[in-house]
Amino acid sequence: MKRMASPRRGFTLLEMTVSAAIGAIVLTLTLGGVIQLQRRSLFEEQTMMAQVTGRVVKDLLATDLQRAGLGMGNAPITFADGDLRYAIQVWTEPDLTADTPPYFAADPGFALPPAGTPYAGMRSDALQLYWGDTRSMIVMDACTGKTVIREGNSFTFCTTANPPLDMDPASGQTTPAIIANPRGSVACHLEISNVMAASGKLNANPGSAIGNTGTPPCGDPDDAIWEDSGWVTLRTQGAAYRVNWAGGLPALEYRAPGAATWVVMSRDVERMKVRQAVIDLAAPQSAYRWFPDAAAGRPEIDRCTRVTCTADSGPPGNNPGSDDELRRLLQQRVREVEVSLVIRTRRADVTMVNPGEPVAFDEEGFPVDGFKRRTLTFRVTPRNFAAGGLQAPQAGAGT
C-alpha cells in the first residue's frame, strides 16, 4: 500500500503579523511594568535612605543638645562687649547673607529658599550650642591672701595647685575657654595665653575672636562676682547648624566654634525649626510654656518684647527693665527644646507632577512636586540646665 503524503501547512503572513503585534504589545506592557517597578523601587530606596539619614541627624542633634551648657548650665556667656550668648541660642529664620547675629559674619555662600517658588516659605532657624570640655577642666581658687580668683589686673586668674596643662597653648597662640560659675549664673569667655602649673595661675584675655571684654562683670577684675566659689575653666566646645539653599537645593550644614567654614552634613534635610520650653519660676510646678506657640499668642524668644511675652507669671522675673533683659530671663529659664526636621528624598518622582500646572500643596502645607517628605519631631531636655540653671526660689529665700 502506498502511504499518503500528509499535507504540510505553515503560518500565513496575516497570522505572523497578528502574532508579532500581540507579542510587541505584551513586551511593551511588560517593559513598562518593569520600568515602573524599578522606578518605584528606586524611589522607595531613596525614601528609606532619607529616613535613615534623618534618624542619624536627629541622634547627633539630640546628643549635642544634651551636652549644651556642660559646666555652666544656661548662664549667659559674655564673649565680648555687646556679645552675650547662651548655651542654646536659636535665631528665627535668619538671612545669614546680611541680616546676621553679631557673631555670624555675613556669608555670601548662604542662600534662603528661592523666592517665587513653592519653597519660599520653607525658611529654617539657625541653632548654636555651647558647652565646656570637662576633660581638661581647671578648678579655680582664691589667690594667695585674697578671697577672689583674680589678681589685681584683668589677665591673671588663680587656680588650685598643679592645674592640668591641656589648655596651655603653643607659643604665640591662645586657647578659647569659658570660665564659669553656675552658682552665680555667670560665664565669661577667655583667650588663654599661658597655664602655669608651678604657680597655680593662668593668663587669659577676657573676650574672644570677636573682640575684648572690658565692661563689668567679666571685664572688671574688682567685680564682686569673682569672690564667689565654684569657678571652673573649660575649653570652649559647641556646634552651629543651619539649612543652606545655595544652588537652589537644601543642605543641613554644621560649623564648630571658631571655624571659618560650614560643612555639609546632609542633603536630605529641607527645613529645621526649633521651639523652646520655659519654666515659670513663680509657679515651677506649672506646665512649661513653649516659644513659639501660636495658639497661646507667644512668638519666638528672640522676637519677644515686654508687650508680647513675660518671663514669669509673677516675681521674680515679671518686670524686666528692657526687651533685651526679658529675652535674657527667658533664655535662662529654658528647660526643654523641640526640633522639627523636614526630610525629603534627593530626587523627585516626575510621574507625580503635571507639567504646566501650578504646584499644589498637600494637607501638611508641602508642595506636591514629586519629592517624598517626612517630618521628624523630637524633644530633648538638656541635662545641664536643671542642675546649673536658674532655680525656683525656695520658701523664705530670696531670688
Q: Domain count of the chain?
A: 1
377: domain range? 47-279+333-388
Set of cell numbers at residue 88: 542654646
Question: Residue 321 has what DSSP assignment?
Answer: S
Q: What confidence tier does 399 reach under pLDDT thresholds 50, 70, 90?
A: very low
Domain contains 226: yes
State the average pLDDT over residues 10-34.
70
Set of cell numbers at residue 386: 536643671
* Residue 128 DSSP SS3: strand
Strands 83-85 vs 77-80: parallel, antiparallel or unpaired = antiparallel
pLDDT at 30 over 70: no
pLDDT tens-digit series, residues 149-205: 998 777 999 999 999 999 999 998 999 999 999 877 889 999 999 999 999 999 999
Domain contains 397: no
Q: How far apart are CA 247 and CA 94, in angstroms?
A: 18
Domain contains 96: yes
Burial of 205 (0-12, 13-18, 19+ CB in 10 A): middle
pLDDT at 34 over 60: no
State the average pLDDT over residues 123-135.
94
Set of cell numbers at residue 205: 584675655
Q: How far apart are CA 198 and CA 150, in angstroms?
A: 17
80 touches 185 (CB < 8 A): no
pLDDT tens-digit series, residues 54-78: 888 999 999 999 999 998 888 899 9
Neighbours of 384 (CB within 10 A): 21
Neighbours of 133 (CB within 10 A): 17
pLDDT tens-digit series, residues 264-308: 999 999 999 999 999 999 999 999 999 999 999 999 999 999 999
Indicate the pTM of the whole model: 0.85
C-alpha distances out from residue 9 to 4, 17, 152, 210, 331, Å: 16, 17, 118, 96, 94
Contacts of the segment 380-383: beta carbons below 8 A, 24+ positions apart: 380/61, 380/62, 380/65, 380/66, 380/336, 380/337, 380/338, 380/339, 381/66, 381/335, 381/336, 382/65, 382/66, 382/67, 382/68, 382/69, 382/74, 382/87, 382/88, 382/334, 382/335, 382/336, 382/337, 383/66
Domain contains 305: no
Q: How far apart are CA 329 and CA 327, in angstroms?
A: 5
pLDDT at 355: 74
Q: How far apart are CA 165 and CA 171, in angstroms?
A: 14
Set of cell numbers at residue 54: 534623618
* Residue 227 DSSP SS3: helix
Q: How far apart are CA 376 and CA 129, in angstroms?
A: 20
pLDDT tens-digit series, residues 363-388: 888 888 888 888 999 999 988 876 55
Domain contains 125: yes
